Amino acid sequence: MEDLLVSSWCKDRAVPETYIFPPEQRPGKLIDVPVGNNIPVVDLGVHDQTQIIQQIFEASQDFGFFQVINHGVPNRLMDDAMSVFKEFHAMSAKDKTFECSKDPNKSCSVYTGSQNYAKEKFHLWRDGLLHLCNPQEKYIQFWPEKPTRYREIVGTYTTVVRKLGFRILEFISQGLGISPVHFSSGLAENPRLLVNHYPPCPDPSLTLGQGKHRDPSIINILLQSEVYGLQVFKDEEWIGVKPIPYAFVVNIGYPLQIISNGKLKGAEHRVVTNSNLARTTASFFINPLDETIIEPAKTLVDASNPALYRSLLYKNFLIKYIATSGNTQALEEALSSSTE
């Protein structure tokens, strides 16, 4: 693993053959797509809750993506978290591997590519640090101890961002007209933090930090650095997500598309690389427990609105998600109620 991390070798080489995407999946000239007509920005600091609910609902329907500002997470905490995330990925490969080897059950890991490097047809220009977060007393002992402030800062960061996540899920529930406590039993119990690192790439037109995908989480709350890289696929076009200082990017994952019975969109997105600058981001995925049932909310289903998706346990959803490896059509078919 140590030698495989992109950050270990990328300075000395052109893009290796095994990192070049097939022509139809390469970003090519679309590395810099317009960021003008952008995803909605929702101000969570306004008094009018109805307005917030409406804006989040519309953005989740139209784009499956929005940014939030005035969300209550202190700027200082966001800066500190981003600093330790960058420091972690700047450590030697040996240290990174050592710091992530404390749990025999591998609740904390460092990896490169898609977590299944050996089976990838082509590799991603990305290293990742992934760990479970909840309950914190159980998992914090397996988190990195280097950088020295990692546990303290990330412990606070994940607690605060989790609360923000619950607030956003409440707004989403209200927009959908389902119980405000819909997400409080199992569906949001197993959050995980993924710290992505995309080193500078000698030719960003050939490869991607992450290929086109939908997230297998309920929602993701993303801290992105000042460096641009995230693109959303909407109406057959790629649009760039503008980095806004101290905003979080929120996106709907596929399980929430199922829960909303297709009302909300688990949007497809990807990450392009940058030729001069490294980019570090942190995804806080709000995830269900393995044994939680994923199905359209009962109140959204009746004779005139039949369930579009069948019920399944989250762990079985994941098996299908992994088996269809990014093929949206195949996943849609595997989960559709008509293929039962």
CA-to-CA dists, residue 335 to 133, 212, 253, angstroms: 28, 19, 14
Q: Which is nearer to ligand OGA, 277 or 300 (CB)?
A: 277
Does residue 222 belong to the site contacting ligand OGA (CB under 6 A)? yes
Q: CB neighbours of 16 closer than 8 A, spacing ≥ 6?
A: none
- Over the window 188 to 207, marking each residue x when it contacts ligand OGA by CB under 6 A and - when it does not, the resulting string is ------x-x-----------
Binding test (CB under 6 A) with ligand OGA, winner from 81, 271, 294, 297: 271
Give how many residues touch ligand OGA by CB under 6 A. 12
Q: Using alpha carbons, select from 107, 109, 99 the residue that is nearest to residue 129.
A: 109
Could you give the CA distance from residue 313 to residue 136 in angstroms, rounded to a whole number? 24
Does residue 112 belong to the site contacting ligand OGA (CB under 6 A)? no
Does residue 215 belong to the site contacting ligand OGA (CB under 6 A)? yes
Residue type at position 41: V
Binding test (CB under 6 A) with ligand OGA, winner from 110, 161, 230, 308: 230
Does residue 215 belong to the site contacting Ni ion (CB under 5 A)? yes
> Residue 277 CB, nearest distance to Ni ion (Å)?
20
* Angle, helix 150-176 to helix 75-90, in steps of 10 degrees: 120
Does residue 268 belong to the site contacting Ni ion (CB under 5 A)? no
Residue type at position 140: I
Alpha helices in the chain (DSSP H): 6-9, 49-62, 75-90, 93-99, 136-139, 150-176, 254-259, 314-323, 328-335
Angle at 74 between CA 81 and CA 269, to 5 degrees: 60
Q: Which is nearer to ligand OGA, 69 or 300 (CB)?
A: 69
Does residue 27 belong to the site contacting ligand OGA (CB under 6 A)? no
Does residue 273 belong to the site contacting ligand OGA (CB under 6 A)? no
- Positions that interact with ligand OGA (CB under 6 A): 194, 196, 210, 215, 222, 224, 229-230, 269, 271, 281, 283
- Positions that interact with Ni ion (CB under 5 A): 215
